Every structure is written in C-alpha cells, then in structure tokens.
Amino acid sequence: MVLPYCILNVGIYFLINWLNEKEHIHIDISSQGHSLMSLIIAFLGVSKVNIALTRYMDSKHAIKNADILKRNKSTCNSHNREGQQPSSTIVARRVIHQ
C-alpha cells in the first residue's frame, strides 16, 4: 500500500530536480509548510493514541462484564444443585454493585 506513494514521491523529486537543472525554475519550500506538517502529524498521533485507548477501555469493560456474568451463572448453578431456586433480585444486585 505504501509503494505507490513512494513511487509518486520519487517522481515528484525527479521532476523538481529536472526543472531546477534544465529549465532553471527554482522551487523552494517555506518553513511554514514544515510547521503545518508537524502540526498535522502531531494531531494524527494523538488521535491514534485516543482510538487505541478507547478500544482498550471498551475491551476492559467487556471482559469485566463477561466475568460478572460468569460468576453470576456459577452462583445460580450452585443454588440449583442444592435444590434451591436463586432469587433474581440477589443476582441483579450483584451485577449492579460490582
């Protein structure tokens, strides 16, 4: 996926170099362009970290909820083995408080 961009950049470099040597057209890049690019790269870096952190936190909450459901299921199964029916309010309270 990166190779076409590399080829395009090399082509642009050779075009600018050819214009500079043969046609005596000088193309300069101002320092404002570099500062703008550094700002854009910093923004993209921060947004990528934000996305990764959000995915991590979502996964963490999903695993926590799965663990709570697993514990509640094992609690219900242990009550059923003893011949008692578990109270749904007790199970609901455990889910809410944990």
DSSP 8-class letter at 86 = P
Contacts of 27 (CB under 8 A, 6+ apart): 16, 19, 20
Give me the residue spans of the domains in the chain: 30-97
Residue linked to tokens 């952190």 = 53
DSSP character for 33?
H
pLDDT of amino acid 11: 94
The model's confidence at residue 98, banded by pLDDT at 50, 70 and 90, is very low
Tell me what percent of the residues of the chain surpass a pLDDT of 90.
Answer: 28
Q: Which pLDDT value is given to residue 10?
A: 93
State how far the Cα of 22 lies from the Cα of 6, in Å rounded to an integer: 24
DSSP structural state of residue 85: P
The distance of Cα 88 from the centroid of its chain, to the nearest Å, equals 38
pLDDT in tens, 48-88: 999 999 999 999 999 998 888 888 777 666 555 555 555 55
Structure tokens, 91? 């199970």
Residue 27 has pLDDT above 90, yes or no: no
Rounded to two decimals, what is the model's pTM?
0.45
Confirm if 46 and 40 have CB atoms less than 8 A apart.
no
